[in-house]
Chains A and B, each alone.
Chain A
Amino acid sequence: MTGDAQNADALTGEVLRSALVAAAEEASIVVVRAAHSAFVVEGSDASAALLDRRGRLVSQSMATTLLHSASLRCSLPAVIESFPLSTMRDGDVYCMNDVYRGGIHANDILVFKPIFAAGVPQWFAATLIHILDLGGSAAAGVSALATDIYQEGLQLPPIRIGTIDGLDQQLLSIIAANSRLPDATVGDLRALIAGANVAARRMASLIDEYGEAGLADGIEGHLAHSERLMRIGLRAFPDGIYRATYGLDGDGIHPDRTYTVAVAVTIAGGRATVDFSGTDPQVAASINAGFSQTMSGALFALRCFLDPTIPMNEGCFAPVDFVIPSGSLLNVTPPFPGGGRFLAVFAAVEAIFQAMSQADPHHAIAASGILQPFALDGRGSNGAWIHAAYELGGMGARWGNDGLDAIGVHHGGGRNAIPQSEPLESRYPFVVERVELIADSGGAGTWRGGLGTRTTFLLLDDARLTMRCDRLERPPCGVQGGRDGRAGGYFRQLPDGTSLRLPSKSSGIAFAAGDRFVLETSGGGGLGPPGNRDESAIDIDIANGRVSPDGARADYGRS
């Protein structure tokens, strides 16, 4: 870029930057509002992005899970590999879900629509949502005991799902035939395409406004702007190599195995290298992650220690090198399963948090409880039903501050993704009897870990439960003398009150009408010795019920 161009960008580049983000944002709003899967509409488990023909991320929607941030940019090259740019036609729509080529897992469908300028695809509008079911050995994509990819659902390599003449009905019928909820699945696919159409239209009007060359220049300025901000942030961080590991409970199949994710973060001269060498090899169980998921998690974790307002685009990736060994837990290869991706990725995120904490003990955070998903399904008089949702564990204590209760710290999530009870009860054969904070579940410390929750479902009809989670056997650890958080779990409570602890990864567990399903999430770890906790903070915790009088005695020596 010339000096003049750079000045022009500095002066009014903000106008185009906003327009590019707004285009992606608008697309994601359309996707969420038009979607059929409750997962999407309640949890906003959707993303939209603009990309260029080289697969670089131009802009991304801002409301959604940060574990989506790398997947669209990593997958587009796979689509272009299968469908060279010269073969693409205006009006084409492509989709895929291949975890080995940049995708996430079977249920996350990625849609791409080329945007033409001067007769060639210059940019792409892309959208992505978690659809509720696309087959596999268990409902809702929670095939917790899968030992290969084929048990996790229908695999979609890059395909052309539509052209200017409309959607490919044969492909649609294959997709519908592979879903337990065909109508919702096809509805969600249409929502994805509607969103991509919106982003493409906005991009076309930007081409009109700026001209092709002007827009291309402006986009370069936009990416360079984020990259400069990233480098400034990385330079402000003390140079060094920061190492940490974090463990997983197990894989659900081999009872005596545990796993470890290792990371070395090197910060030097405004660049970062995130190296996962030393991470355990992949396993024939559903705890591995595709490389794009690992990249999303790693960039997110790094950004938690930088300026949070940097616009997300390729410039954020530019000063970061990723070393993700192929065939490890964090870079799965065929035919190993990848559906349990968040288990390995959250361990990677935690390991980076712990590594970065070493750079400054006053910016330390203890380990946190994670997202704890489940799916209940049954076959009532009105047909099959699936309720898939999750609850969140407590956040680890931070230096100077208690952890937040039940919040999704590893993916930038929040509690607005948890469905409310009344809409569920109006639709499904269960009563959500209790949704409560678990007293004493936050790890004791000078600063206390955030609390976990207990949710109790009273089943009014027979149902089956499928779930997978982590940090239930090795609970979130405390740091600097703080104690571990309380481990959560999945339980079946019989009508007589007997409570049975269930494995943390399983599928198809039978529940009878009258049984209760109890979901407990883990509390976050504490930070600093409990004996140093401020007395008035303990009083407030007791008044609010976050710590019980017994807990205060046991953890803080209150008489």
Chain B
Amino acid sequence: MVVHVAAQNQTVVAVDIGGTFTDAVLSTSSGLFTAKVLTTPADPAQGFMECVRRVLAAGNVHPGSVERVVHGTTLATNVILERRGAAIALITTDGYRSLLALGRHGRVEEERYDLWGSQPEPIVPLSHTFEVRGRMQANGDVLVAFDAIQAAEVADAIAALGVAGVAICFLNSYVDDRHELAMAEICRSRLGPRVSIVTSASVLPEMREFERLTTTVMSAYVGPVMSDYLRSLAESLAQTGVHAPIFVMESAGGVMPAALAASFPVHTIESGPAAGVIAAARFGGDCGADQIVAFDMGGTTAKAALVRGGRPDITHDFIVGGKGSFGGRRAGSGTPVKIPAIDLAEVGSGGGSIAWLDPAGAVRVGPRSAGASPGPACYGAGGVAPTVTDANLILGYMSSDSMAGGTMRLDVQAAIDAVTLTVARPLRVSLHDAAYAIHDIANADMAAAIHVVTVQRGIDPRRFTLVATGGAAAIHACRIAARFEMREVIVPPHAGVGSAVGLVRTDLLTERSRSALVPLADADPRHLQKLFDDLTAAAAEDLESDPRTMIVERTVAMRFVGQAHELEVAVPSGSFDARALQALEQTFLSDYRRVFGLDVRGAIELVSFRSQVRRSVGAPIRDDAPEGVDSPVALERAAWFPERGGLTPTKVARRGDLEIGRVVDGPFIIEAADSTTVVPPGWTATVHPSRSLLLRPADRHT
């Protein structure tokens, strides 16, 4: 069955490296092929190449005929979290040497009571941090002249340290970066071409020195590692015979050429999760849904993001290693990196999350996870702690052969023992009551991620469709949807390798932004038009494309004078004139009312300006999975549904056996090699022509 007639019959290989598995997808004119291997953390490229070889073999495709390689990677995140970036030095304005070391750490939640914690060492130690005289003011006046002599001394001191990179961040450089450029020039001449120099205004010309500093430092820190990695990947691919250009998934839901990813490595931080959201957007779109909650469930975390009008919601306040309960990333936790990123909420709850009793005897689930090793008790690899997966197995939602297409048998007795010992016996409740409590608490925890991106943003989730990716997501999806009264759930084909599939279907994307505080009343449309033209031209240049062939979207961050938080408002297309300004004001006021429920009037200011350009390269997918025949459902097993009084005889079908248009009524379980779908009582599932499963409460047939 052809889902899309391929406009360009491109042969594309997409590889997503996750924490546990590396997934590859091969998209060709004759169909879609997948491969899955264990991630090789010591050298991720090894798993990458193995996966590429396997998927090419599966599709019987000659390496030389691959036209595009797309890669989703957590390299940048891991380098930052594990602190294995390049040795770098930092140069900042006289008086601000302590800026990074002091940090802006907010003690969040239980940390507030912690008198005993240690001080984190800054990524650039104070011993590698230097000050240079020269002070720009907020209005662009120079208060203190740049001290070129001191700058040269600093560059010489850095030369003696033998670092791979230098980050330069001066106060108010977002207004005027000439001191940073002068400093960079002096560094280049004294340190030579092998040391990479990153200036803050080139990375992020926006107000707020701390976020600009951390973004700059992280670019310098990750850059050399990223460019080495991508270079060696290209070499390995070439040795295999693949000479196609490499694209890297970036956090905002686009792909960028490898060279650009090496120059702006922080843009790849949310690479893998972003691809999963794109998959949800595209497959949801195939079913006609454009208001989507993308829900992804893995082994240790679950993530949620919104897709509206087919486009993922974007945030500009990303925090690497940010934490906070209920899926929030609290300001003051982790390291802020100001990149555009898909607005994902993440909770520490997944299939491997461990259930435990707290000292007061209440059942809790997570955030500790059994991970891939030892894994849930039922993996039989030495795990004894009960996990969400063990609960799902006991409840009959999974069977002993439903993992990885039956290649990995699950040990039901081990799951029963774990849940009995830790939960059921101490609380004197039945095994199934205990297992369902674990399942239910996990649902509530994972729902918190959806709560963050909908209710907390002032958005009513009831009108949205939930798209579930990840192997176990569709076991929980209908229950979670019901918590929000959402009335449609979509389980895409290949849901278990959703991120890799998303990579194939992602467009080229980049953006540029700049801060400039402009009172709305004083805004000069011609000036703003010029500002946007410059940003658009710079972004288009990144993609080496003619801006006229691209889709351009512009936004302005606006707020009432006196506020510190902004709302991002879309600029109408066309030239920027007085009417556009009026439209901006109207949109801002109505957005404000929607978000805060307050009808406020007051002076408005424009704070920052962005231009995003996109070029469509995302290949449509031709999915020639074998057409199902109207085969009788042969299997049946007992599964636990409280609304049916407990264990209920439940029909089970292989997903490939359900033909297009087939409707089944819950309770029903649909198994595929990479995912399992539970249709609870009161829900129906329909096989959509795009091969996605459409699940709805039974009172709404189509």
Closest CB in chain B relative to A212 CB, distance in Å = 20
> Is there an interface contact between B97 and A12, defined as CB atoms closer than 8 Å?
no
Name A158-209 residues within 8 Å CB distance of B: 183-184, 187, 190-191, 194, 197-198
Query: Nearest residue in A to B104 (C-beta to C-beta)?
Result: A416
The B interface is mostly helix, strand or loop, or mixed, namely loop
CA distance A543 to B596 in the complex (A): 49
B434 interface residue, CB < 8 Å from A?
Answer: yes
Residues from chain A with a CB closer than 8 A to the CB of B160 are: none
CA distance A304 to B361 in the complex (A): 22
Closest CB in chain A relative to B565 CB, distance in Å = 5
Closest CB in chain A relative to B462 CB, distance in Å = 12
> Is there an interface contact between B118 and A401, defined as CB atoms closer than 8 Å?
yes
Closest CB in chain B relative to A134 CB, distance in Å = 16
Which listed residue, B116, B171, B440, touches A421 by the CB 8 Å rule? B171
- Chain A, interface size: which category? 35 or more
CA distance A425 to B455 in the complex (A): 35
CA distance A308 to B117 in the complex (A): 13
Interface stretch, picked from A29-37, A109-117, A287-295, is A29-37
Instruction: Tell whether A308 pairs with B113 under 8 Å between CB atoms, given A11-B427, A183-B602.
Output: yes
The A interface is mostly helix, strand or loop, or mixed, namely helix
> Is there an interface contact between B444 and A41, defined as CB atoms closer than 8 Å?
no
> Is there an interface contact between B115 and A365, defined as CB atoms closer than 8 Å?
yes
CA distance A62 to B174 in the complex (A): 34
> Is there an interface contact between B171 and A422, defined as CB atoms closer than 8 Å?
yes
Residues from chain A with a CB closer than 8 A to the CB of B126 are: 543-546
> Is there an interface contact between B97 and A436, defined as CB atoms closer than 8 Å?
yes
Closest CB in chain A relative to B429 CB, distance in Å = 6
> Is there an interface contact between A194 and B332, defined as CB atoms closer than 8 Å?
no
A379 interface residue, CB < 8 Å from B?
Answer: no
> Is there an interface contact between A414 and B455, defined as CB atoms closer than 8 Å?
no
> Is there an interface contact between A12 and B359, defined as CB atoms closer than 8 Å?
no
Which listed residue, B125, B325, B597, touches A544 by the CB 8 Å rule? B125
> Is there an interface contact between A398 and B109, defined as CB atoms closer than 8 Å?
no
CA distance A33 to B596 in the complex (A): 8
Query: Nearest residue in A to B94 (C-beta to C-beta)?
Result: A434
Residues from chain A with a CB closer than 8 A to the CB of B98 are: 435-437, 453
B671 interface residue, CB < 8 Å from A?
Answer: no
Query: Nearest residue in A to B95 (C-beta to C-beta)?
Result: A434
Chain B CB within 10 Å — which of A187, A300, A353 has the most? A187
> Is there an interface contact between B207 and A353, defined as CB atoms closer than 8 Å?
no
CA distance A22 to B444 in the complex (A): 11
Residues from chain B with a CB closer than 8 A to the CB of A431 are: 135, 137, 143
B172 interface residue, CB < 8 Å from A?
Answer: yes
Which listed residue, A19, A41, A197, touches B564 by the CB 8 Å rule? A41
Query: Nearest residue in B to A398 (C-beta to C-beta)?
Result: B116
Instruction: Tell whether A418 pairs with B104 under 8 Å between CB atoms, given A14-B444, A18-B445, A398-B115.
Output: yes
Query: Nearest residue in B to A409 (C-beta to C-beta)?
Result: B115
Residues from chain B with a CB closer than 8 A to the CB of A229 are: 358-360
Closest CB in chain A relative to B206 CB, distance in Å = 9
B372 interface residue, CB < 8 Å from A?
Answer: no
Name A216-240 residues within 8 Å CB distance of B: 225, 228-229, 232
CA distance A309 to B360 in the complex (A): 12
Closest CB in chain A relative to B130 CB, distance in Å = 11
> Is there an interface contact between B360 and A18, defined as CB atoms closer than 8 Å?
no
Name B577-618 residues within 8 Å CB distance of A: 595-598, 600, 602
CA distance A9 to B427 in the complex (A): 11
A515 interface residue, CB < 8 Å from B?
Answer: no
Name A402-421 residues within 8 Å CB distance of B: 402, 404-409, 412-418, 420-421
CA distance A30 to B99 in the complex (A): 29
Which listed residue, B111, B138, B597, B600, touches A425 by the CB 8 Å rule? B138
> Is there an interface contact between A414 and B332, defined as CB atoms closer than 8 Å?
yes
Name B318-332 residues within 8 Å CB distance of A: 324-326, 328, 330-332
Instruction: Tell whether A18 pairs with B103 under 8 Å between CB atoms, given A228-B360, A409-B115.
Output: no
Residues from chain A with a CB closer than 8 A to the CB of B106 are: 44, 63, 413-417
Query: Nearest residue in A to B122 (C-beta to C-beta)?
Result: A544
Query: Nearest residue in B to A227 (C-beta to C-beta)?
Result: B360
B239 interface residue, CB < 8 Å from A?
Answer: no
A90 interface residue, CB < 8 Å from B?
Answer: no
A42-77 Cβ-contact flags toward B at 8 Å (1 or 0): 101000000000000000001100100000000000
Residues from chain B with a CB closer than 8 A to the CB of A544 are: 101, 125-127
B112 interface residue, CB < 8 Å from A?
Answer: yes
A1-19 Cβ-contact flags toward B at 8 Å (1 or 0): 0000001011111110011
> Is there an interface contact between B138 and A415, defined as CB atoms closer than 8 Å?
no
> Is there an interface contact between B441 and A12, defined as CB atoms closer than 8 Å?
yes
Residues from chain B with a CB closer than 8 A to the CB of A405 are: 101-102, 119
> Is there an interface contact between A422 and B207, defined as CB atoms closer than 8 Å?
yes
> Is there an interface contact between B456 and A435, defined as CB atoms closer than 8 Å?
no
B557 interface residue, CB < 8 Å from A?
Answer: no
A559 interface residue, CB < 8 Å from B?
Answer: no
> Is there an interface contact between A402 and B119, defined as CB atoms closer than 8 Å?
yes
Closest CB in chain B relative to A95 CB, distance in Å = 16
CA distance A409 to B105 in the complex (A): 13
Instruction: Tell whether A435 pairs with B444 under 8 Å between CB atoms, given A14-B363, A30-B596, A415-B104.
Output: no
Residues from chain A with a CB closer than 8 A to the CB of B441 are: 12, 14-15
> Is there an interface contact between B103 and A415, defined as CB atoms closer than 8 Å?
yes
B411 interface residue, CB < 8 Å from A?
Answer: no
Closest CB in chain B relative to A446 CB, distance in Å = 16
Residues from chain B with a CB closer than 8 A to the CB of A420 are: 104, 208-210
Residues from chain B with a CB closer than 8 A to the CB of A42 are: 564
> Is there an interface contact between A26 and B456, defined as CB atoms closer than 8 Å?
yes
Instruction: Tell whether A10 pairs with B562 under 8 Å between CB atoms, given A62-B108, A425-B172.
Output: no
Instruction: Tell whether A10 pairs with B96 under 8 Å between CB atoms, given A62-B109, A63-B108, A422-B209.
Output: no
CA distance A151 to B171 in the complex (A): 39
A99 interface residue, CB < 8 Å from B?
Answer: no
> Is there an interface contact between B99 and A309, defined as CB atoms closer than 8 Å?
no
> Is there an interface contact between A10 and B363, defined as CB atoms closer than 8 Å?
yes
A423 interface residue, CB < 8 Å from B?
Answer: yes
A344-377 Cβ-contact flags toward B at 8 Å (1 or 0): 0000000001000000000101000000000000
Closest CB in chain B relative to A264 CB, distance in Å = 21
B54 interface residue, CB < 8 Å from A?
Answer: no
B114 interface residue, CB < 8 Å from A?
Answer: yes
Which listed residue, A15, A184, A426, touches B138 by the CB 8 Å rule? A426
> Is there an interface contact between A18 and B172, defined as CB atoms closer than 8 Å?
no
Instruction: Tell whether A33 pairs with B562 under 8 Å between CB atoms, given A423-B208, A431-B135, A435-B98.
Output: no
> Is there an interface contact between A10 and B427, defined as CB atoms closer than 8 Å?
yes
Residues from chain B with a CB closer than 8 A to the CB of A413 are: 106-107, 112
> Is there an interface contact between A35 and B360, defined as CB atoms closer than 8 Å?
no
Residues from chain A with a CB closer than 8 A to the CB of B487 are: none
CA distance A309 to B517 in the complex (A): 42
> Is there an interface contact between A11 and B429, defined as CB atoms closer than 8 Å?
yes
A466 interface residue, CB < 8 Å from B?
Answer: no
Query: Nearest residue in B to A6 (C-beta to C-beta)?
Result: B361
Instruction: Tell whether A422 pairs with B208 under 8 Å between CB atoms, given A18-B444, A62-B325, A190-B600.
Output: yes
B194 interface residue, CB < 8 Å from A?
Answer: no
Instruction: Tell whether A25 pairs with B326 under 8 Å between CB atoms, given A7-B427, A41-B563, A431-B135.
Output: yes
Which listed residue, B109, B143, B429, B600, touches A187 by the CB 8 Å rule? B600
> Is there an interface contact between A10 and B107, defined as CB atoms closer than 8 Å?
no
> Is there an interface contact between A183 and B562, defined as CB atoms closer than 8 Å?
yes
> Is there an interface contact between B444 and A309, defined as CB atoms closer than 8 Å?
no
Q: Known A-B contacts: A18-B445, A309-B110, A416-B106. Give 6 more (CB < 8 A).
A: A12-B440, A22-B326, A33-B596, A37-B562, A426-B517, A543-B125
Nearest 4 pairs between A and B by C-beta?
A412-B112, A416-B332, A434-B95, A416-B106
B residues adjacent to A (C-beta < 8 A): 94-99, 101-119, 125-127, 135, 137-138, 143, 171-172, 174, 207-210, 324-326, 328, 330-332, 357-365, 427-429, 433-434, 437, 440-441, 444-445, 448, 451, 455-456, 517, 560, 562-565, 595-598, 600, 602
What are 12 residue pairs bridging A and B, where the CB atoms are less than 8 Å apart in the complex? A10-B361, A14-B363, A14-B365, A15-B440, A29-B328, A194-B596, A363-B116, A412-B112, A416-B332, A425-B172, A436-B98, A437-B102
